[in-house]
A and B are shown apart, each in its own frame.
Chain A
Amino acid sequence: EAQVTQNPRYLITVTGKKLTVTCSQNMNHEYMSWYRQDPGLGLRQIYYSMNVEVTDKGDVPEGYKVSRKEKRNFPLILESPSPNQTSLYFCASSARLAGGEQYFGPGTRLTVT
């Protein structure tokens, strides 16, 4: 089954404690991205990757890092989380950049206290 998986699904942490949210896809897609979703602000792109070792900033990259060492994995790293990073995070992958279907993961609900 074609899917994007994220872990953990729910996470409560404290300010400053480094965390990583994993993302994996089994469709051999080149393009992967991370979004955060906040009430009233919709989905905003954090980072995206066009292929292994190729990453670029989206609209709201501050406070986040990513890596793309393997085609299937695209982890999101918060080196020093802050309360304003409390949000719902989605990972997505697609076969092409423009148009077409992006497959989204189930989401990770992060709370930073």
Chain B
Amino acid sequence: GESVGLHLPTLSVQEGDNSIINCAYSNSASDYFIWYKQESGKGPQFIIDIRSNMDKRQGQRVTVLLNKTVKHLSLQIAATQPGDSAVYFCAETSYSGAGSYQLTFGKGTKLSVIP
């Protein structure tokens, strides 16, 4: 079946450096790709999304890049801070018929920021 996965389960970066979290997807028909952040003991929190007809989208300190040729999605965090330490999930939505959309999450990457 179609799936969304992550290249690396853990990532450690020095405070102030840039972080890059990667995600591979297999459903070429997905409409949106979304990044979520989950801190310990909390529910996932929306970071940014990108529509499938875009290559890049920027937010505050974050940039999402979409490469449809190789079905790859990445989240870049500029000037990583201790508060960025969390598990990051990518997710994709795809139309599943009859007005319904399927939302599939990747398994997550744990980002640890070293002070």
Contacts and interface: CB of A to CB of B under 8 A. Distances in A.
A and B bound?
Answer: yes
Contacts of A56: 100
Nearest to A6: B43
Interface stretch (A13-21, A36-44, A61-69): A36-44
A43 B95 contact: no
A33 interface: yes
B45 A104 contact: yes
Given A42-B108, A43-B105, A106 B93 contact: no
Interface string A1-13: 0001000000000
Interface string B74-104: 0000000000000001010101000111111
Interface string B48-74: 010100000000000000000000000
Contacts, number: 62
Interface residues of B, number: 25
B89 to A, nearest CB: 7
Nearest to A97: B101
18 contacts: A33-B103, A35-B105, A42-B107, A43-B91, A44-B105, A45-B102, A90-B43, A90-B44, A97-B101, A98-B95, A99-B32, A100-B49, A101-B49, A102-B44, A102-B46, A105-B43, A106-B42, A107-B42
Given A100-B46, A102-B34, A105-B43, 12 more contacts: A42-B89, A42-B107, A43-B91, A44-B105, A50-B99, A92-B44, A97-B93, A99-B34, A100-B32, A101-B49, A102-B46, A104-B45
Interface of B: 31-32, 34, 41-46, 49, 51, 89, 91, 93, 95, 99-108
